[in-house]
Amino acid sequence: MDTDFVTTFLRDLFIPGTSLAEKIIRPAAVYAFLVIILRIGGRRELGQMNAFDLVVLLTLSNAVQNAIIGDDNSLLGGFIGGATLVLLNLAVVRFLYSHPQLESGLEGQAVKLVKDGHVFRDRLAREQITVDELQAAVHRQGVTRIEDCSEVILETSGTVSVIPRDPTPIEAANAQILARLERIEALLGGARPA
């Protein structure tokens, strides 16, 4: 086997083509950019409300790939870039954990989209969520109708939390019907209703 080939292969695999400082600064800058752009873009991208939002997230990672690694395709360069992203995220999460006011300001507040079956259409419009998307989110949580929800909340993470009514209007109506049937049976059977 040609020793020049092996030497070149190993050098390209393990020796970064750019400086260590650049390997750390590039991922940090892309991290900051993505945090800002996703915050501006809203919670839809975070919660992946529909196929279009998912496509944006998938192509976004490809779009910033070269900005993270530059002209370097070495294994070690990728490890340094990846480690920088993970360590930076760990530092940010720990910092925000100890500064909840700052975290609240950066992430915003949860938004109540439904209260006692009533849809807040102005809030849906502000968050750019259609009634059909809301209905789909409610279905994914196991509730049949929006009217059966006590609350539907768009969390700061972009996920939708659904709190069903207890009991739902249909369950309450069924309970009333059963109570009436029991009284009728008691009257027909000669016994006194309770």
The per-residue pLDDT for range 40-98, each reduced to its tens digit, is: 776 665 565 567 767 777 788 888 888 887 777 778 888 888 899 899 999 998 998 89
Whether residues 137 and 102 fall in one domain? no
Buried b (16+ CB within 10 A) or exposed e, 12-37: eeeebbbeeebbbebbeebbeeeeee
Count of domains forming the chain: 2
Is the pLDDT confidence value at 191 over 60?
Answer: no
The per-residue pLDDT for range 117-148, each reduced to its tens digit, is: 899 999 999 888 889 989 988 998 888 889 98
The per-residue pLDDT for range 83-106, each reduced to its tens digit, is: 998 999 999 989 988 988 888 777
Residue at a domain's end among 85, 107, 129: 107
What is the per-residue pLDDT for 45?
56
What is the per-residue pLDDT for 66?
80
Residue at a domain's end among 68, 92, 107: 107
CA atoms within 13 A on the CB side of 48: 6
Identify each DSSP E strand in 70-110 by its residue range.
none
Q: Let me know: does 132 contact 148? Beta carbons within 8 Å.
A: no
Amino acid identity of 123? R
CA dihedral angle for residue 52, residue 56, residue 57, residue 62, rounded to 10 degrees: 140
Q: Output the domain CATH number for residue 194.
A: 3.30.240.20
- Residue with token string 């009533």: 118
What is the per-residue pLDDT for 153?
93
What is the per-residue pLDDT for 48?
53
* Threshold 0.75, pTM exceeds: no
